[in-house]
Structure 1
Amino acid sequence: MTYRADPARYDSMQYRHSGRSGLKLPVISLGLWQNFGGTRDYPGAMEILGHAFDAGITHFDLANNYGPPAGSSEELFGQVMARDFRPYRDELIISTKAGYNMWPGPYGEFGSRKYLIASLDQSLKRMGLDYVDIFYSHRYDPNTPLEETVGALAQVVRQGKALYVGISSYPEAETREAHRILKQMGVATTIHQPSYSVLNRWIENDHTIDACGELGIGIIAFSPLAQGVLSGKYNSGAKEGTRAASSNTTLRASHVEPRVLEAVDKLGAIARARGQSMVQLALSWALRRKEMTSALVGVRTLDQLKDNLGVLNNLELSADEIAQIDEATKDGQMELHPSPKGWLR
C-alpha cells in the first residue's frame, strides 16, 4: 500500500531555527544510528519513519557508518525514499556525516578532503539523493589542517551536494576556529551536533554551548537519553532487547555505575511529579536552553517513538524544577568528552 502522509502532520510539532540561519528543525529529530541497519526489515522501518513524519518529524539524521553494518542505514533509508518518501522530499531535512572508519587504507576516515567528498558521494548513491540538506564533519581530526576539513564542507555546498554544513563533537576552540574559517569562505556553520544530556554536560563545562550561542550556530543534541539510561530501563537490571545486550553496543560501564543509576532514580521522582515519563523529562531538560535547536532520538520501537513525542505536551521547566534536577544529578555525571579516537559513536 502506498504511504500517504497525514494531512495534520504539522499541527502539533514545534520547530526552531538552527542558530541564526533560516533552517528550522523539529524539536524532536529522528536518528538512524543503531536501529535502522541490516537487522531492520522494510516494514518495521517504515512503521517508525512513517509515524515520525506523520507527527511532524521532518529531520532524519544519518551517517556513512551507521548500521550495523556500516552504510546499511543509508541503504535502508534510500529504499524508504524511493518507495514512500519521494513525494515529500522538499518537506524533509536529511543529514549525513563522515569522519569515522569506512574503508581500508589511509583515506577511509577522519577529515581529509579526499575522504569527506568521496564519502558524501557514496552516501548520496546509497540514499538515491542528489543532495543532502546537512553534511557534517563527524569528528575533529587533529592531524589534518582544519582549513582542509572545513574547506571540503564549503566545497560540497558550492557543488550543490549539501545545502548546509555542520560539525559534530567539536570542542569549543575547534568550534570557533571552524566557524571562523568557514565564514571567510562565505559559508555558514549552521549546526553543531554534540552529545548532551542531563548526565553528560560537557558542552556546558567547556563552554561549547556558549560559543554556539554567540556565533549563531544551532545545536542538535545526540544521546539526550544517555543511550537509554535516562529511560530508567537499566535501573531494573534488565538487558534483554536493550543496547547492553547487543554485541555492537557503545554503552560503557560508566553509563550504568551505581551513582549514575541512583541519579536516574531521583529523576524518576521528579518526572512523576510532572506527570511525565523519564524520557520526556530528559528531553525537556535537553531542550530547555535557547541555544538548543533539537534533540536527536534513536528508537527501536514505535512505542518508544510515541513516548519521545509525548514531551511536546510539557516542554517547559520551571527554575525550581531545574534546580531539583541539578541536585538530583550532581553525583551522577558521566563527564564524557570528545576524543579524536572516537568515544561515543
Structure 2
Amino acid sequence: MAWSPAENRYESMKYNRVGRSGLKLPAISLGLWHNFGGDTPHERKVEMCRTAFDLGITHFDLANNYGPPPGSAETAFGEILRTDFAGLRDELIISSKAGYDMWPGPYGEWGSRKYLIASCDQSLKRMGIDYVDIFYSHRFDPDTPLEETCAALDHIVRSGRALYVGISSYNSQRTREAATILKDLGTPCLIHQPSYSMLNRWIETDGLVDTLDELGIGSIVFSPLAQGMLTTKYLGGIPEDSRAAQNHFLKKDFIRPQTIDNIRKLNDIAQARGQTLAQMAIAWVLRGGRITSALIGASRSSQIVDCVKALEKAEFSEQELKAIDVYAREADINLWTRSAELV
C-alpha cells in the first residue's frame, strides 16, 4: 500500500524563524550525515524520512560527501524525492554543502569558486532537483580569499541553484567578515551551522551565538547529542557496534572516565525531569530560543520519534540549568573547528 504523509504532520512540530529572514525551520531537523550511505538498506532510509516528515520535520540536511561512499546520501535522498516524496518538494527544505574532500586533485575540497560551483552542480544532479533551499560553505578555507568563497555563494543563488546560503563551523570573526561580504553582494547569509552540545560549548566561549543574534543570522546546530555520547550508550563502556568503536569521527579517547561520570550525572538530571538524556540534550541546545533548529542524526526511525519528544519538555527552571552547568563541561571533542583552526 502506497504511503501518504500524515495529515496532522504540522500540528505538533514547532517552527522557528531563521534569523531576520522570512524562512522558518522545524525546531528539529534531520541530518543525513551518517546512516544514509550505501551501507544502510534503502528501505530503512525510506522509513526514516517518512517518519521524520510525518512528525513535521520538513528540513533534510545533506552535503556532497555524506555517505559512505561520498555522494551516496544525496543519491539515496534523490530516489526518495522521486518516489515517496513525489509532489512534496515545495513542503521541504533541502540543504547541501561543499568544503570537505570530495574528489581527487586540487579542485576537490575547501572553498574555491571552481570547487563550490562544481560541487553544487553535482549535488543537484545526484538528487535530481533544480535547486537546493540552502547551500553552505562547509568550512572556512584559510587559503582562499573569503571574497572568492562568498562570491561563489552569491553566484549559486543568482544562477538559481539555491534559494539561500549559509556557512558552517566559521568562528565569530570569520562569520562577521563573511556576513559583511555577502550583504554587500546582495545575498545575505541566512544561517550558520556549528557543532554544539553540552560537551562542546565553543559557540558560547567564541561569542558566535551573540554574533548571530546581532547580525540576524539563524543557527542550526549539529551533533547536539555529541555523536551519541549524550545518550546512555557509553555509560557501561564502548559497545562493539558503536560509532566510538569505529574510531572515525567519534574517537575512542573521547570516552574518558571524567566525561562519562559527567554524562552519568546529566542522565540523572534528565530522569528527574522525566526525559531521556538525548531528549534533555536536544531541549538544552534549544533553550532560550537562540538556536533555530537542532540537527539530529538517526540510524532507525524510533530514534527520530524519541528525539522529537524533546519538544514536549523544552523548558528548564533556573535550578535545572545551574545543575546542568556543573556537568555540561567542555570535553575537547570538537573536530570541526580544528580542521581550519578557526583562523
| TM-score bracket relative to the smaller structure | over 0.9
Distance 1:242 1:253, change over 3 A: closer
Q: Which residue of 2 aligns with 1:256?
A: 255
Cα deviation per residue 1:42-101 (whole Å; 9 max; x = unaligned)? 211111110100000000000000001100000000110011112110000000000001
Alpha-carbon separation, structure 2, partners of 1:340 and 1:123? 26
Q: Which residue of 1 aligns with 2:324?
A: 325
Cα pair 2:244 2:252 within 8 Å, conserved: no
Alpha-carbon separation, structure 2, partners of 1:193 and 1:159? 23
Q: Which residue of 2 aligns with 1:182?
A: 182
Cα pair 1:62 1:94 within 8 Å, conserved: yes
Cα deviation per residue 1:217-255 (whole Å; 9 max; x = unaligned)? 1110000000000012111114133212336x3102453
Cα pair 1:202 1:337 within 8 Å, conserved: no
Cα pair 1:171 1:338 within 8 Å, conserved: no
* Structure 1, 253-262 or 86-95: larger mean CA deviation: 253-262
Alpha-carbon separation, structure 2, partners of 1:17 and 1:337? 29
Q: Which residue of 2 aligns with 1:120?
A: 120
Task: Give TM-score scaled by structure 1 length.
Answer: 0.96
Alpha-carbon separation, structure 2, partners of 1:171 and 1:326? 23
Q: Which residue of 1 aligns with 2:70?
A: 70
* Structure 1, 232-241 or 103-112: larger mean CA deviation: 232-241
Cα deviation per residue 1:176-210 (whole Å; 9 max; x = unaligned)? 00000000001111000000001100000010111
SS at match of 2:195: coil
Cα deviation per residue 1:251-306 (whole Å; 9 max; x = unaligned)? 02453111111110000110011000000010011101332000000000122111
Alpha-carbon separation, structure 1, partners of 2:340 and 2:255? 20
Alpha-carbon separation, structure 2, partners of 1:297 and 1:224? 7
Paired residues for 1:1-345 under 5 Å: 1-246=1-246, 249-330=248-329, 333-334=331-332, 336=334, 338-339=336-337, 341=339
Distance 1:342 1:223, change over 3 A: farther
Structure 2: unaligned runs, 5 residues or longer? none
- In the TM superposition, what is the alpha-carbon distance from 1:342 to its structure 2 partner? 6.2
Question: How many pairs are equivalent?
Answer: 341
In the alignment, residue 274 of structure 1 is paired with which amino acid?
Answer: R
Alpha-carbon separation, structure 1, partners of 2:335 and 2:68? 24
In the alignment, residue 193 of structure 1 is paired with which amino acid?
Answer: Q
Alpha-carbon separation, structure 2, partners of 1:191 and 1:254? 32
Structure 1: unaligned runs, 5 residues or longer? none
Alpha-carbon separation, structure 1, partners of 2:223 and 2:251? 13
Alpha-carbon separation, structure 2, partners of 1:290 and 1:311? 14
Alpha-carbon separation, structure 1, partners of 2:335 and 2:319? 28
In the alignment, residue 77 of structure 1 is paired with which amino acid?
Answer: F
Q: For the aligned residues, what is the CA RMSD?
A: 1.4
Alpha-carbon separation, structure 2, partners of 1:156 and 1:121? 9
In the alignment, residue 225 of structure 1 is paired with which amino acid?
Answer: L
Alpha-carbon separation, structure 1, partners of 2:75 and 2:6? 25
Moved over 4 A (4+): none
- In the TM superposition, what is the alpha-carbon distance from 1:335 to its structure 2 partner? 6.0
- In the TM superposition, what is the alpha-carbon distance from 1:106 to its structure 2 partner? 0.7
Alpha-carbon separation, structure 1, partners of 2:338 and 2:159? 28
SS at match of 1:292: coil
Cα pair 2:254 2:333 within 8 Å, conserved: no
Alpha-carbon separation, structure 2, partners of 1:282 and 1:84? 31
Task: Give TM-score scaled by structure 2 length.
Answer: 0.96
Cα pair 1:141 1:340 within 8 Å, conserved: no
In the alignment, residue 150 of structure 1 is paired with which amino acid?
Answer: C
Cα pair 2:32 2:66 within 8 Å, conserved: yes
In the alignment, residue 290 of structure 1 is paired with which amino acid?
Answer: G
Distance 1:337 1:214, change over 3 A: farther
